[in-house]
Structure 1
Amino acid sequence: MTDQNDDTASEEPELTAYRYSDGSITYPGHPRGPDGKEPVGTVDLSEYTAEVVTWTTSTATPPGVRQPNHLAIVEFDVDGRPVRALGQLEDGNVAIGDTVEPVHVDELRDPEVGIREPASQSWDGFRFRPVE
């Protein structure tokens, strides 16, 4: 299920949102869209920039998460459709309305400090970095 027509698989991680037959797009993806139907495709949000809607800094973080931890709600414009995501910022040097881009990182938190076995899950993900 993808919008891409290319048969070659990309090695780069994707920030995958789901597209539904009514035109809506959600991140994270859900098995049923707002119209109650299954997704009809995916959209890689890592190919887009987004606007900071709001942001905050957490100083009381879970084990293994950096302190301070800067977080933002950002909004992507995908074919005229708003798609919002919550994620870490590279740093706290942003303002509401700034343009950011998703950047893949190998570890969003230290796998050796958490309560789960390090091999039990993936620790990578995306942070948002200001576009200069």
Structure 2
Amino acid sequence: MNDIEKSEIVISKIVNLLMSWGIQECTMEFDELELDPEEFGGFFFPCVDWLVSEGVIRVQDIRRYTDSNHSGFPDRPVLTSYGFQLLEQKISVGADAERLANRVKEVSSNGVGYANVGDLIGGILGGFTKSIGS
């Protein structure tokens, strides 16, 4: 598995948790993603930072501890209205189209990457491009 596929899985896990949690006060720790810390731990904060920078999620604060590269937590993470909008968009999956939210759930559940699908990251960026082009 290459680094972009690992990033997709971590992003999918983060977004899937936030979809299930809804809008509430909470914190998120890497362990809640149920991923191997040796393989995926270094992707946690960069993926959170990327989702925040792209406007998909909002956090009040990101608290990082120095004892490891995945120790700490985003405080009060929540999907933004833009994030919810992206998840409702249809993406091409072969000859079919399906909601990005369904693909996020599949990647989060099965760890199946987005090869030949346009990538989760591409779906988010494509949704951003589509929204500013409208």
State TM-score, norm by structure 1. 0.26
Higher relative contact order (CA 8 A, sep 6+): 2
* Structure 1 or 2: more strand by fraction: 1
User: Rg bigger for which structure?
Assistant: 1
